[in-house]
Structure 1
Amino acid sequence: MEPVNIKQKILAPLFFAAFSATANTSILIEDSAVVPLKTEFLHTQQELGFTKQEVEQFLGKANYDQAVIDAMTKPWEAKPWHKYHPIFLTDKRLNAGLAFWNEHQATITKASEKFGVAPEIIIAIIGIETFYGGYMGNYPVVDALYTLGFYYPPRADFFRKELSNLQTLVKEEQLDINNLNGSYAGAMGFGQFIPSSYRHYAVDFDDDGRRDLLNNPVDAIGSVANYFHQHGWKENAPVVLPLSVDSELPSPLKVWAGEKLHYRAADILSPQVSLAKAIDLDISQPAMIVELEQENGNEYWLGLNNFYVITRYNRSPLYAMAVYQFSQELKNASMMKDD
């Protein structure tokens, strides 16, 4: 179904209540709703050390972009798995990944060993995010974060914080905001880091004095590995395992929906829900149930800590599964090449 293009005027008291996160709408927020948010933003930035003039100049560079709102309301992750994964798991991406691995083998090995993250995961992330730097996004980052921070009520608080981080990042890393492009959500560079992630997890992996995720694949490789390390990736631990389920999940088990892990593997596994392939497994470890919608029914997997870590990069279980399966394709193809 094509999105409906409806202009809505939303009064200030209803700013956060009147907009559905799933509505396919174009929105026009009245100035009375936006002005206090901009005033609050100005004060926040001044508390961080920026002058009033600097903040006003920063906001003056930003423009509302309806295309950002349209993209946010129809993400790829809304597709069922059987339509989602063919977008990413392609021979073209696999071949590009193997070429990237070969070109940057020393750097990838160094990052893997330093941060304890599987090399194929690092390569899979960069491949799925930007096709190894080929598609890093055409949205001005400041426009994307400005639009979402002031005109997208469902997550406006989050994106205003990212807009705040962007101003600090531009100053810290001496970035040219006029030529800083990325995704519709304000992510940028080879690994598509949002500003807060760039500030907190980027590393200068080639020791040239700069943390450059926009043009330097070496820094990007090290930074992706550091991101996973900092979020608790466990070296050589399983990521996700296929389950065998009798007809449907027994009550009260529920599919993971983005929350912190509260099940243990022992809570999930039973005669009705078992591993499709028996392996030795610590059943006391945190776990989740992942559901994939196939054309002829649902498929279930046991997600473990490392799968949860992938969702810290993008909270969609479909995204995490695409990263994992692509990483396995990369690993298997690399092993075949070496034989």
Structure 2
Amino acid sequence: MPDFKRFLFVILLVICHLAQAGTNGFGHNVLINNFISDMVKKYNFNADELKKLFAQVRRHQNILDAIARPAESKPWREYRPIFLTPDRLRGGLKFWQKNAATLQRAHKIFGVPEEIIVAIIGVETRYGKHAGRYPVIDALATLAFDYPPRSLFFRKELREYLLMTREEGLDPLQQKGSYAGAMGMPQFMPSSFRQYAIDFNGDGQRDLWHNPADVIGSVANYFKKHHWKKDQPIADQVSVRGDAYKKLLGANGQHLLKPHLSQQTLRAHGVSLPKGLPAGMKGSLIELEGKEGPEQWLVWPNFYVISQYNHSALYSMSVFQLSQQLRENRSGEE
């Protein structure tokens, strides 16, 4: 009888171990092995080294729970106070003051306003205070191999991450980021890091975690590569006459941010236009649920560039309005 109890105890231990491995590790050996084979054939990685690496990678159920959670749809009147706060404004002014020379240089080279660069960093991570706590490789592997709806996207980002860490001489196990694998103060995905991150202080490294100069230069470079137009407008709140303007809005509350409406079309539908617009510049009309009622905004090509960072009208408007607050308060300090 004691032998039988010992046998049961051993069996239970094995079952618990397997259950834990299934929870925290990766049981999809075929997928991982195929991925490793692809990295070896196409990018000359060492198979044994990658196997050792993935043996240390962990699956995070809370990442799967977070990404599967439906995005909460807040109206603008509730979304705005999340990002436009006194604390974020103070942090932005402090960041601007500390990095003024670098921001000026970025503006001169790339044409992106200093306040836009500061606002992006503020909205993304509150100037680096909340840059993510997950090992990037854990996040990307969890989503690449255990989240079928977007597995192809995250496998591509996992590939880009391994290439990035090899190029930059970084330990792939040590880098931290968001639950979706976004990294550093500006929250670049690995593919964006490889394409847009730059060494802006000449130390031979592209450090988006700890080096504000590289962060500033990389954000400005990202915007420039997405066709930011220097000294052109971003967004204007406008007044409207009648209901004809509603025909220009996206269906079912969707915001059409890509500029597609001529100034003539906007006027013909009762939309007042600000003075001094560049001739021929197209825009888009969006309507937001403000605190005092509906707000109509004309958004221009530079607003669309902001939306390439995050495909959301509310996100882009938060960046724009925070940038305006920063500029106004910065001017008051000078």
Please say whether Structure 1 and Structure 2 have the same fold, judged by a TM-score greater than 0.5. Answer: yes
Matched with 1:11 is: none
Counterparts of residues 200-239 of structure 1 (less than 5 Å): 200-239=195-234
The offset of 1:88, in angstroms, is 0.7
Instruction: State the SS of the aligned residue for 2:287.
Output: strand
Q: Which has the larger radius of gyration?
A: 2
Superposition deviation, residue 267 in structure 1? 6.8
- Secondary structure of the 1:300 match is strand
Q: Does 1:244 align with 2:239?
A: yes
CA deviation digits over 1:30-65, x for unaligned, max 9? x99x55543442233121221222332333332221
Cα pair 2:236 2:274 within 8 Å, conserved: no
CA–CA distance in structure 1, aligned partners of residues 32 and 292 of structure 2 = 49
Where does structure 1 differ by over 6 angstroms across 4 or more consecutive aligned residues? Answer: none
Distance 1:39 1:232 in 2: 40
Task: Quote how far apart the aligned CAs of 1:305 are.
Answer: 0.9
**Which residue of the other structure, out of 57, 61, 64, is the alignment partner of 1:62?**
57
Equivalent residue for 2:299? Answer: 303
Alignment CA distance shift 1:128-1:224 (3 Å): same
> What's the counterpart of residue 81 of structure 2?
86
Which residue number corresponds to residue 38 of structure 2?
Answer: 44
3-state SS of the aligned residue for 1:264? coil
1:133: Cα distance to partner?
Answer: 1.2
2:260 match: 263
Using the TM superposition, give the Cα deviation of residue 134 of structure 1 relative to its aligned residue in structure 2, in angstroms: 1.1
Distance across 1 between alignment mates of 2:49 and 2:269: 61
**Alpha-carbon distance between aligned partners in 2 of 1:206 and 1:40, rounded to the nearest angstrom:** 39
AA matched with 2:172: I
Distance (whole Å) between structure 2 residues aligned to residue 175 and residue 80 of structure 1: 41
RMSD over aligned CA atoms reads: 2.5
1:10 aligned residue: none
Picking from 281, 290, 295, the partner of 2:277 is 281
Which residue identity lines up with residue 260 of structure 2 in the other structure?
A: Y
Of all paired residues, the percent bearing the same amino acid is 43
Measured after TM superposition, the shift of residue 169 of structure 1 is 0.9
Q: Which amino acid counterpart does residue 158 of structure 1 have in structure 2?
A: F
Deviations 1:297-321 (A, max 9, x none): 4323222111111111111111111
Task: Give the equivalent residue in structure 1 for 2:330.
Answer: 334
Amino acid at match of 1:52: A
Report the Cα offset of residue 266 of structure 1: 3.3
Deviation at 1:263, TM superposition (A): 1.4
Q: Which amino acid aligns with 1:216?
A: N
Letter in 2 for 1:336: G
Superposed counterparts of 1:4-43, under 5 Å? 34=28, 36-43=30-37
TM-score scaled by structure 2?
0.83
Q: With structure 1 as the length reference, what TM-score do the two structures score?
A: 0.82
List gaps (5 residues or longer) in structure 1.
Answer: 1-27
Partner of 1:78, secondary structure, is coil
Aligned residue identity for 2:116? I
Does the 8 A contact of 2:57 with 2:137 survive in 1? Answer: yes
**Other-structure match for 2:286:** 290
Q: Deviations over 1:242-262 (max 9, x none)?
A: 233434744364269577836
Count, aligned residues: 307
Contact 1:89 1:322 in 2 (8 A): yes
Residues of 2 paired with 1:215 and 1:305: CA distance? 31
CA change 1:337–1:252 in 2 (3 A) is closer
Q: Does the CA contact (< 8 Å) of 2:259 and 2:283 recur in 1?
A: yes
Does the 8 Å CA contact 1:265/1:283 hold for their aligned counterparts?
A: no
Label 1:299 to 1:37 Cα distance change in 2 as closer, same or farther (>3 A): farther
Structure 2 segments unaligned to the other structure (5+ residues): 1-22
Which range moves more in the overlay, 95-104 or 238-247? Answer: 238-247
Using a 3 Å threshold, how does the CA distance of structure 1 residues 262 and 240 change in structure 2: closer, same or farther?
A: closer
Query: Is the Cα–Cα contact under 8 Å of residues 136 and 173 in structure 2 kept in the other structure?
Result: no
For 1:51, the aligned partner's letter is: N
Match for residue 110 of structure 1? 105
SS in 2 for 1:291: strand
CA drift of 1:296 comes to 5.9
Contact 1:150–1:156 (Cα < 8 Å) also in 2: yes
Native 8 Å contact 1:287 1:304 kept in 2: yes
Taking the aligned partners of 2:312 and 2:280, their CA distance within structure 1 comes to: 24
Letter in 1 for 2:309: Y
Contact 1:204 1:219 in 2 (8 A): yes
- Comparing 198-207 and 50-59, the one that deviates more: 50-59
